[in-house]
Structure 1
Amino acid sequence: MSYKSDIEIAREAKKRPIQEIGDKLGIPTEHLLPFGHDKAKVSQNFINSVQSNDDGKLILVTAINPTPAGEGKTTTTVGLGDGLNRIGKKAMVCIREASLGPNFGMKGGAAGGGYAQIVPMEDMNLHFTGDFHAITSAHSLLSAMIDNHIYWGNELQIDERRVAWRRVVDMNDRALRDIVCSLGGVSNGFPRQTGYDITVASEVMAILCLSNNLEDLQRRLGDIIVAYTRERTPIYCRDIGADGAMTVLLKDAMQPNLVQTLENNPAFVHGGPFANIAHGCNSVIATKTAMKLVDYVVTEAGFGADLGAEKFMNIKCRKAGIAPSVVVLVATVRAMKMNGGVAKADLGEENVSAVEAGCPNLGRHIENLKSFGVPVVVAINHFVTDTDAEVQAVKDYVGEHGSEAIVSRHWELGSEGSEALARRVAEVADADVASFAPIYPDEMPLFEKIETIAKRIYRADEVLADKKIRQQLRDWEEAGYGNLPVCMAKTQYSFSTDPNLRGAPTGHSVPVREVRLSAGAGFIVVVCGEIMTMPGLPRQPAALTIGLNADGEIEGLF
């Protein structure tokens, strides 16, 4: 049996004018800033006007550690949002925007899949409403102003060897990871080593996604540490004088983007911070606005629950003053088999024992999520190759771990396939049994925060950090940054820092390679192992198959 591609399904969507989607949320036409007929930004004035509304229930969708088999986290997020609307609930979806680099590289799009997608899929996965371009421009303005300040006399006495601010571009380009800039003689400035990250790894991206309004945005931008003097005194963005102009560039990008699902239900798609070097969630302003407009908000966190959900709870919820009522943990039979040792080529064959062998990864995530005081429902994202015996093995395992697993066929059937999941998730959310709390307090010392995550979430025996790193953390505490949360940067493929260590490992160590202060975003980045902030393209990048057909339609996005 052949199935249509995601882009074929998206192209057949019967979209409604974006003003009709706004009507569902009570957004007057004059408060929508349309980008064509099917997407619009929501005005800050409207957002301000709904702040006295009661909050709806927040539902977090997360997943097991990702495998090459695919888990379908965004697809489940969209399918659940449609399912809730199908059973008569007023619900909407909040997800991140897609980065151009991964779209043309290996990951593909970020709009869901099958019959659980957000449209316009092509626009969402390409330039969309220009938010990422605005973030790139604001970041680049600061980069230019730093070097310009040094060129015109360096009044702030910046040590050129200690410029911490790199450059960004929204493309996977390994050649730019490490560069030397300002070559070419006196008129071009002072040569120094720097490099590029991908735009989603920019602190500007993290700041935009954690800011409540434009005033908060400018304050956070001003707090960015861009360089140090020879005496190690920090130089801030506001010292350079770039914070005001950067805010101007980001003015429209701060407004959430309203689009729709294939079933014409509303969705906010806004922001896109990296899920390892940053917190991996959509914007606070989009999530909090959605909670004022509907009864149920379905959102997601990047990568597996050990990274995305942990940061959602410990960083986003802590900073935004929000709390999830229920967590949906996405798993697939295929991924369980892969965790159980089956090669990707053999995933289509029934193997119940491999499913059972891979389930401890799922069990670990259930335990971790419950430790935040939030109930967990497991969504088995159904694949056509799954057998009844394999599905039952997952259900039995989850039941033994004090939760329940529900098969969802949203990819194949849309909201009809997610109805059972939606009913159960709504029941759990409405029961108000959650007693959410982050797993560490603000006042805990920074190194103890790192240890808490490593031991309670990763089940490591110890954190390995040399004297220099520990002293750096103590220095930041003395400088007033000790109350910040920590943002762990490690591989997404394992609970450990070894991407090849699948399942639910124990007895391992977490080596801390370096720590970085994101003073504007408001967290300490803890780099464990090799973390890539500028990905490269694979041998056969997706860009090779992306193009226009004879009708001028985009082909090859997925």
Structure 2
Amino acid sequence: IHAVEAAHNLLAAVIDAAIFHGQLEIGPSFITWPRTLDVNDRALRHIVTGLGGDEHGVPRESSFIIAAASEIMAILALASDLEDLRRRVGRIIVAQRKDGSFVTAEDLRVAGAMTVLLKDALLPNIVQTMEGQPALVHAGPFGNIAHGNNSLLADQIALKLADVVITEAGFGADLGLEKFAHIVARYGHLKPSAALVVATVRALKSHGGLPLAKLGNEDLDALKRGAENLAAHIDIVRAFGMRSVVAINRFPEDTDRELRLLSDLAEQFGADAAVVNDGFSRGGEGSVELAEAVLAATKDGSNFAPLYAADTPIREQIQTLARRLYGAADVEFLPECQKRIDWLTERGMGTLPVCMSKTHLSLSHNPALKGRPLGFTLPIRNVYPSAGAGFVVALAGDIQLMPGLGKEPAYTRIELGPNGQITGLT
């Protein structure tokens, strides 16, 4: 993340320097590149820079985004090698000239320096699990505000080293799986054999309307209502032509009746298998049955296919996602968004894959709509190009690219003991 921040903010500094020195005919109001920080800070969502007089720069409105939402994080996760990384960094669009043409990192002559900052970060990290197995952990684009998958390079290395590769896609099938299918798999020429859907009794009781304070209580009715959310995710997996296995991660307060009901419901919804997973409490021994179910689901291959062709226009892509995956009846493109889509289309980016930026707390754009909402209208307030990453980001609802701290943040539980022992991290 440090390398991503450094490269991203170097580019931001170069843009302001170019304005200060009158280069490239960039006007302050035509800049689209924000700054970034890996701290949740809502006060930085809208800022003014360059105050303090002429020697300190040109005053302009700007913003910060969380580092995981940086286009550079997405580029790092999608680049196939150093040459591809350099090429993608050079394509980053940061501003418009007064004549309407793009200004890129290449135009600002900073793409080479940015690539040098990212050179070592491109290499996947191999880490060891608590039981001694190797795992590749690399890159961190969020699943709700970015494309939500680990690096393509890590996946490709893993495929050369192992018989079976399990790769994580962030949040639910509506976000991580969809973006894997339409962005990662398309650029990496990957064809997954099956999908592992992770579910918990607690989460589904929450989707069934149970308040947080009561999630530890047995409530079969709430679980049954909330399980409609799981049904939607299983249907999404099926829409991509894959078999699904549901992993029910056991919590200590889950009752046998709840686990049995959820397992039965998952299979009724069309999952090829549903297994209660005890990996948290028993380690690998508690996940053997789940592993066997996953292997069984991959044996016959899959009919994996994207939901739309590579040359599908932006509006049609969004409408397909809204209706077939989210459960929407319609899509509302706000006026500014309509103009931006037309603007992108005129400049040859009208068929880039869409990276939907929306809440992970609901299948819809509205975090308050739990379970499996249907018949709503999905509002798209804006779109913008991530030309280096190779996709167009669509903002649905009130999604924010810089999160804010909650009323009771996790940092309030973190402390340093007298012997240097850190507490409160779990």
TM-score range, shorter chain: over 0.9
8 A Cα contact 1:307 1:492, kept in partner: yes
Residue in 2 aligned with 1:472? 340
Aligned-partner Cα distance in 2 for 1:478–1:537: 39
SS of the residue aligned with 2:316? helix
Match of 2:15 in 1: 146
Q: How far off its partner does 1:188 sit?
A: 1.2
TM-score if structure 1 supplies the norm length?
0.74
Gapped regions of structure 2 (runs ≥ 5)? none
Give the match's secondary structure for 2:326. Answer: coil
1:478 & 1:229 partners in 2: Cα distance? 16
Shift in alpha-carbon separation, 1:468–1:196, aligned structure 2, 3 A: closer
- Structure 2 partner of 1:293: 161
Matching of residues 98-497 of structure 1 within 5 Å: 132-154=1-23, 156-403=24-271, 404-429=273-298, 431-497=299-365
In 2, the alpha carbon distance for the partners of 1:540 and 1:343 equals: 17
Q: Hey, what's the Cα distance between the residues in 2 that align with 1:409 and 1:336? A: 18
Q: Distance in 2 between matches of 1:228 and 1:277?
A: 24
What are the superposed Cα offsets for residues 273-305 of structure 1, whole Å, 9 maximum, x if unpaired? 122221011111111111111112122111221
Paired residues of 2:334 and 2:382 also in contact (CA < 8 A)? no
Which deviations, in whole Å up to 9, do the C-alpha atoms of 1:470-508 show, x marking residues without a partner?
A: 343233223221331101111111111111111111110
Letter matched to residue 359 of structure 2: T
Q: 1:468 deviation in Å?
A: 4.1
Q: Which residue of structure 1 lines up, in the alignment, with residue 408 of structure 2?
A: 540
Contact 2:139 2:151 in 1 (8 A): yes
Structure 1 range deviating more: 438-447 or 386-395:
386-395
CA RMSD in angstroms comes to 1.3
- Range moving further from structure 2, 474-483 or 157-166: 474-483
Tell me how far 1:545 sits from its aligned partner: 2.8
Secondary structure at the counterpart of residue 457 of structure 1: helix
Contact 1:340 1:357 in 2 (8 A): yes
Q: Please give the alpha-carbon distance, in whole angstroms, between the structure 1 residues aligned to 2:398 and 2:334.
A: 17
Shift of 1:535: 1.5
Contact 1:374–1:436 (CA under 8 A) maintained in structure 2: yes
Q: Classify 1:195/1:475 alpha carbon distance in 2 versus 1 (closer, same or farther; 3 Å).
A: closer
How far does residue 379 in structure 1 lie from its aligned partner after superposition? 0.7
State the alpha-carbon separation in 1 of the partners of residues 154 and 365 from structure 2. 32
**Could you say what secondary structure the match of 1:424 adopts?**
helix
Q: For residue 460 of structure 1, give the secondary structure of its aligned residue in structure 2.
A: coil
Q: What's the TM-score once normalised by structure 2's chain length?
A: 0.97
Alignment-mate amino acid for residue 347 of structure 2: A
In 1, Cα distance between equivalents of 2:218 and 2:36: 45
Q: Deviations over 1:400-439 (max 9, x none)?
A: 222221111111111111110001111221x133111111
The count of residues paired between Structure 1 and Structure 2 equals 425
Higher relative contact order (CA 8 A, sep 6+): 1
Looking at structure 2, the residues matched to 470 and 272 of structure 1 have their Cα atoms a distance apart, in angstroms, of: 30
Q: Does 1:499 pair with 2:367?
A: yes
Q: How big is the shift at 1:555?
A: 2.2
SS of 2:146's partner is: coil
- Structure 1 unaligned runs (5+)? 1-131
In 2, distance between residues paired with 1:543 and 1:495?
29
Identity %: 47
**How far apart, in 2, do the equivalents of 1:552 and 1:146 lie?**
43
Q: Distance in 2 between matches of 1:294 and 1:385?
A: 36
State how far apart, in whole Å, the 1-side matches of 2:220 and 2:66 are. 41
1:549 and 1:466 map into 2 onto residues whose CA distance is: 52
Change (3 A) 1:325 1:509: same
- SS for the counterpart of 1:402 is coil
List, as ranges, runs of 4+ consecutive aligned residues in structure 1 with deviation greater than 4 Å: none
